[in-house]
Structure 1
Amino acid sequence: MLPSPRSESLRKLYGTHQSGNVYKVRLMLSLLDLPYEWIGINLAAKEHRSPEFLQLNPIGQVPVLVDANVNIRDSQAILVYLARKYDNNWLPIDAEYMAKIMQWLSIAANEIEHSLTALRRHFLLGVPIDRAKAERTAKQLLQVMDQHLENQPWLECHHPTIADIACYPYIYRAADSQIDLSPYPNITTWLNRIQQLPGYIAM
């Protein structure tokens, strides 16, 4: 049985270490130096479909963050919540910057999810996909990102934001997706820059 989300620690993260979407939340919590209780969810044992977990997220997906009396599901939404509550530098309130950052969160949830993430699940878990389409989408996106990063160190704002954290995990693990990053030197530099941030943790 899963622990009650209101017991013990005030901040709990439910997830699995194999998930890049969970990892981006773990990374953000570490960068913000926020302690939390880790509650592993065994997907193979269908714990994400248990009545206890479905009370936290009726969709039955990880990650889920419980922060005192606040329950947030979806990795992009959790990044927004953490940034706005604990350090606004990660998501500036300026309308233009916020909109541009949200564009990258949308890319993380769509183009990256349907290309690099899908390819990783295909090669590691045997999930059937349209491999050619996913590879084509991944390479098109990486080309766009590499050009975008040619004259700036971060995706937006000239400093790290949740845009970088949202897009980082599955690009960082591109080898799992059998995607070669050598044609994208600006992305490689950007990945290295993220790995130098204080509080960085590997997946």
Structure 2
Amino acid sequence: MTTPIKLYRTPKSGHCHRVELMLAFLELPYATVDLDMINGAHKAPSFLEISPFGLVPAIDDGGYTLSDSNAILTYLVKTYAAGSHWIPENAKYAAEVQRWLTVAADNVYSGPCAARLVKVFGFTHDHAAAVSKAHALFAIMEDHLAGRDWLATQTITIADVAGYSYIAHAPEGGIDLAPYPNLRAWLTRVEAQPNFVAMAASPIPELA
């Protein structure tokens, strides 16, 4: 690859960070394009040609454009690391990866992501409900990670990449990770991967 992949993002978005993580883990050259979403850059006609729903992240890979973070993870691996551990060929393992991608799009989004949107960005979501959903999710993940290192298989996959960012930054949404040692150990394992890149941090609010 000679031309860097363009990653359209906002720096404190967990959805964008999971794509940046994947790009870094695969050692793919990329250039970030930060959108001024407060002033509506994501709704500009030029960006809607790239991301029709006006959402980040989106990528431009040599003229091929794609939005949706989990779709981008799949594209990057299938294009640049086909047959690797990131998306297993085994049917049962592949199904486990897909199950955790769904969790990232649903439970993670409505739990730790939504709580963080309230505390960091001032969204008007029901914060108490989001915190409750996060703790329910983390309790399940804590049990699931007992005696295992990764969510879907014996190695890291895109399932772990998709889940990491918002869970790691859950304290910014007022959610305490202290009760979940297995979950915190999993986060540490992701952070120990070669080429790991961190997401920009926000102040952590006082826990009630």
Q: TM-score, normalised by structure 2?
A: 0.91
Aligned to 2:76: 82
The separation in 1 between residues aligned to 2:172 and 2:67, in whole angstroms, is: 25
- Determine helix, strand or coil for the equivalent of 1:151: coil
SS in structure 2 at match of 1:90: coil
Which residue does 1:158 correspond to in 2? 154
Partner of 1:28: 22
Partner of 1:122: 118
Matching of residue 174 in structure 1 with residue 165 in structure 2: no
User: Quick one: distance in 2 between partners of 1:82 and 1:57?
Assistant: 17
- Map 1:181-192 → 2, pairs under 5 A: 181-192=177-188
* Alpha-carbon contact 2:100-2:152 (below 8 Å) kept: no
Secondary structure at 1:37's aligned position in 2? strand
Counterpart residue identity of residue 202, structure 1: A
Paired with 1:16 and 1:28, the residues of 2 have a C-alpha distance of 16
Deviations 1:83-119 (A, max 9, x none): 1222232001221111110111111111110111111
Q: In the aligned structure 2, how far is the partner of 1:147 from the partner of 1:163? A: 17
State how far apart, in whole Å, the 2-side matches of 1:10 and 1:36 are: 4
1:23-51 deviation digits (Å, cap 9, x = unpaired)? 01011100111001211111012100001
Is residue 42 of structure 1 aligned with residue 36 of structure 2? Answer: yes
Q: 1 CA distance for matches of 2:180 and 2:157?
A: 21
Indicate conservation of the 8 Å contact 1:64/1:73, yes or no.
Answer: yes
Separation in structure 1 between the aligned mates of residue 144 and residue 76 of structure 2, nearest angstrom:
26
Q: Which residue of 2 aligns with 1:58?
A: 52
Identity %: 38
SS in 1 for 2:60: strand
Taking the aligned partners of 2:156 and 2:78, their CA distance within structure 1 comes to 14
Cα RMSD for the two superposed structures: 1.2
Q: Does 1:95 align with 2:66?
A: no
Matched residues, number: 196
Match of 1:72 in 2: 66
Aligned-partner Cα distance in 2 for 1:184–1:73: 32
- Quote the offset at 1:70 in angstroms: 2.0
